[in-house]
């Protein structure tokens, strides 16, 4: 140390002043919904290891999604964001990815037809492991343990050992994401994603039940559109655009230690990118304007999603948009309204106006899942397909009335034949059937049949 060093005694540190953004600047801010990591040294070791791993996605792909979402924001496309509420490590298999991809493609083709616009496909996949919880602990028979926060944090079994947060799971999450993204890339580029194949699955679905006939007309119209293209000389199997698809990845950026470790500087673009997924979003419980999550995502070049729940005021939203999109870049923000059926019609218009008047050009998407969750008589957390459809209908009606673009939908679905949500005309799920295949690690998802049925309805809304 230099002998000329002043000997002033400094006052104790106070709350730090806001400083310039860096990948670690979130650490000076309160982070909601964090596990109590029991071993800080283990956490630091894992962060260092993660920081040395290759990126899961590349800045060039992220920028491609930014461009596509910019088009959506300007009314030239539609966003489908869909997948599990919480992925499990055990579902990051070829079968697990394939069945989810299949239903996403089936929904996408219907939306493409309905919208008459390109559909940008983003999965809740390849990293959607962490869950915010309404309570930090769970009590069963007088025993209180930490809540299950997703495979990236702890395990679901109700034992003290399983529920103890384990930072090594951050590293396991990275490797499972890597495996899922790898198989996803192979499937989306290897012919599994053929347009006529996805359409054939939908036709089979329409034929399967009497209720399906309701959608026969739409399915037949798509058949004719494909025949028309073929007659014009477009061979759907040889056209790259029709033979391959781009399914981007996304998850909630809930755990800032993990996201920071995968945030990398891109020399070419002179910008930081979170390379854990193409798009990341901020949940309804972690959107404090001065909080850690908003700080971290404010500095990355990825498209950023923001959940907009019924407690969001127009002033809150204006402040958040200013923090996350000061440049007012079209499609930088995806505002995901999850207001609830019967509430969207009243709550959405002032939010749309606040954002528009402040000069932002976000993609507005409708998440009709999270505002419509309730506990059924049989004791299961569930959602009704009628409420889900009603919220989407309200969302479209409000946008038509306000002259804004209804830019997308955000769904929790699975390709498996689960019984987690109630209703459906094609294969109705009743309350006393919820227990038969209730498999979700967190929120109730639409099964494949319910998802396709909803997609046919949304295609109708899109066509007006
Ligand atoms: C979710 O998307 O699974 C979720 C927890 O949503 P929200 O933050 O909107 O409650
Ligand atoms: Mn959920």
Tens of pLDDT, residues 405-462: 999 999 999 999 999 999 998 889 999 999 999 999 999 999 999 999 999 999 999 9
Closest C-alpha residue for ligand 1 atom 4: 283
Residues shown for the chain: 464
- What is the distance in A from the centroid of ligand 2 to the CA of 180? 20
DSSP character for 121? E
What's the pLDDT at 5? 46
What's the pLDDT at 391? 98
Average pLDDT over all residues of the chain: 92
Atom of ligand 1 nearest to the CA of 131: 5
Q: How confident is the model at residue 243 (pLDDT cuts 50, 70, 90)?
A: low
DSSP SS3 for 181? helix
Percent of the chain with pLDDT over 90: 82
What's the pLDDT at 197? 78
What's the pLDDT at 240? 62
What's the pLDDT at 198? 80
Q: How confident is the model at residue 225 (pLDDT cuts 50, 70, 90)?
A: confident
The answer on whether 217 is annotated among ligand-binding residues is no
Tell me the ligand closest to 371's alpha carbon. 1
What's the pLDDT at 238? 64
Atom of ligand 1 nearest to the CA of 124: 2
The rounded distance, in Å, linking the Cα atoms of 250 and 363 is 15
Q: Residue written as tokens 């791993």?
A: 53
Report the 10 Å Cβ neighbour count for 268: 7
The answer to whether residues 97 and 180 touch, using CB atoms and an 8 Å cutoff, is yes
DSSP SS3 for 36? coil
Q: Which two tokens stand for residue 322?
A: 């200013």
Q: 371-398 pLDDT, tens per residue?
A: 999 999 999 999 999 999 999 999 999 9
Q: How confident is the model at residue 12 (pLDDT cuts 50, 70, 90)?
A: very low
What's the pLDDT at 425? 84
> What's the whole-number mean pLDDT along residues 235-248?
73
What's the pLDDT at 170? 98
Closest C-alpha residue for ligand 1 atom 6: 283
The answer on whether 124 is annotated among ligand-binding residues is yes
Per-residue exposure over 377-409, b if at least 16 CB sit within 10 Å of its own CB, e if not: eeebebbbbebbbbbbbbbbebbeeeebbbbbb
Residues with CB under 6 Å of ligand 1 are: 85, 132, 283-285, 307, 309, 338, 370, 443
What's the pLDDT at 208? 79
Question: In this predicted model, which residue has the larger pLDDT, 191 or 172?
Answer: 172
The answer on whether 412 is annotated among ligand-binding residues is yes
Q: How confident is the model at residue 233 (pLDDT cuts 50, 70, 90)?
A: confident
What's the pLDDT at 239? 63
Question: Does position 332 have pLDDT exceeding 90, yes or no?
Answer: yes
Question: Any residues with CB less than 8 A from the CB of 326 and at least 6 apart, and which?
Answer: none
Question: In this predicted model, which residue has the larger pLDDT, 334 or 228?
Answer: 334
For residue 66, what are the CA distances in angstroms to 78, 244, 333? 13, 20, 9
Angle subtended by helix axes 448-463 and 195-208, to nearest 10: 100
- What is the distance in A from the centroid of ligand 1 to the CA of 462? 25
Tell me which of 32, 129, 285 to substitute to probe ligand 1's pocket, judged by most ligand atoms within 8 Å of the beta carbon: 285
- What is the distance in A from the centroid of ligand 2 to the CA of 231? 44
What's the pLDDT at 228? 87
The rounded distance, in Å, linking the Cα atoms of 73 and 360 is 10
> What's the whole-number mean pLDDT along residues 158-170?
98
Atom of ligand 1 nearest to the CA of 85: 3
Q: 29-86 pLDDT, tens per residue?
A: 999 999 999 999 999 999 999 999 999 999 999 999 999 999 999 999 999 999 999 9
What's the pLDDT at 237? 65
Question: Does position 10 have pLDDT exceeding 70, yes or no?
Answer: no
Pick from 180, 155, 156: nearest CA to 169: 155
> What's the whole-number mean pLDDT along residues 266-281?
98
Question: In this predicted model, which residue has the larger pLDDT, 77 or 227?
Answer: 77
What's the pLDDT at 375? 97
What's the pLDDT at 8? 45
Closest C-alpha residue for ligand 1 atom 10: 284
| Check: complex ipTM more than 0.95 | yes
């Amino acid at each position: 140390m230099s002998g000329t060093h002043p000997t002033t005694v400094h006052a104790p540190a106070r709350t730090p002043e806001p400083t310039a953004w860096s990948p670690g600047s979130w650490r000076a801010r309160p982070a909601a919904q964090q596990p109590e990591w029991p071993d800080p040294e283990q956490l630091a070791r894992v962060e260092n290891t993660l920081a040395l791993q290759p990126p899961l996605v590349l800045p060039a792909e992220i920028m491609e999604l930014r461009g596509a979402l910019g088009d959506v924001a300007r009314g030239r496309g539609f966003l489908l964001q869909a997948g599990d509420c919480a992925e499990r490590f055990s579902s990051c298999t070829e079968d697990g990815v394939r069945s989810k991809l299949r239903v996403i493609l089936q929904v996408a083709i219907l939306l493409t037809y309905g919208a008459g616009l390109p559909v940008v496909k983003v999965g809740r996949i390849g990293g959607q492991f962490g869950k915010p919880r309404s309570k930090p602990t769970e009590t069963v028979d007088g025993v209180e343990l930490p809540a299950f926060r997703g495979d990236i944090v702890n395990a679901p079994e109700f034992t003290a050992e399983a529920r103890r947060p384990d930072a090594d799971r951050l590293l396991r999450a990275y490797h499972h994401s890597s495996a899922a993204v790898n198989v996803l890339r192979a499937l989306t580029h290897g012919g599994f994603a053929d347009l006529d194949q996805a359409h054939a699955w939908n036709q089979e679905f329409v034929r399967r039940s009497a209720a399906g006939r309701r959608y026969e007309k739409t399915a037949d119209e798509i058949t004719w559109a494909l025949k028309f293209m073929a007659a014009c000389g477009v061979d759907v199997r040889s056209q790259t655009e029709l033979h391959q698809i781009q399914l981007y990845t996304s998850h909630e950026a809930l755990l800032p230690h993990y996201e920071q470790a995968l945030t990398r500087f891109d020399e070419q673009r002179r910008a930081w990118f979170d390379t854990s997924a193409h798009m990341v979003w901020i949940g309804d419980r972690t959107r404090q304007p001065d909080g850690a999550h908003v700080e971290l995502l404010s500095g990355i070049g990825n498209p950023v999603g923001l959940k907009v729940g019924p407690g969001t005021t127009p002033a809150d939203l204006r402040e958040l948009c200013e923090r996350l999109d000061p440049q007012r870049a079209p499609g930088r923000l995806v505002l995901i309204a999850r207001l609830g059926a019967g509430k969207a019609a009243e709550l959405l218009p002032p939010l749309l106006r606040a954002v528009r008047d402040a000069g932002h050009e976000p993609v507005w998407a409708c998440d009709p899942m999270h505002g419509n969750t309730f506990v059924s008589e049989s004791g299961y957390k569930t959602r009704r397909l009628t409420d889900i459809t009603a919220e989407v209908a309200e969302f479209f009606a409000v946008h038509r009335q306000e002259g804004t673009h209804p830019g997308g939908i955000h769904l929790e679905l699975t390709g498996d034949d689960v019984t987690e949500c109630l209703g459906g005309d094609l294969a109705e799920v009743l309350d006393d059937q919820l227990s038969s295949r209730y498999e979700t690690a967190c929120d109730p998802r639409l099964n494949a049949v319910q998802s396709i049925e909803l997609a046919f309805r949304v295609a109708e809304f899109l066509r007006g």
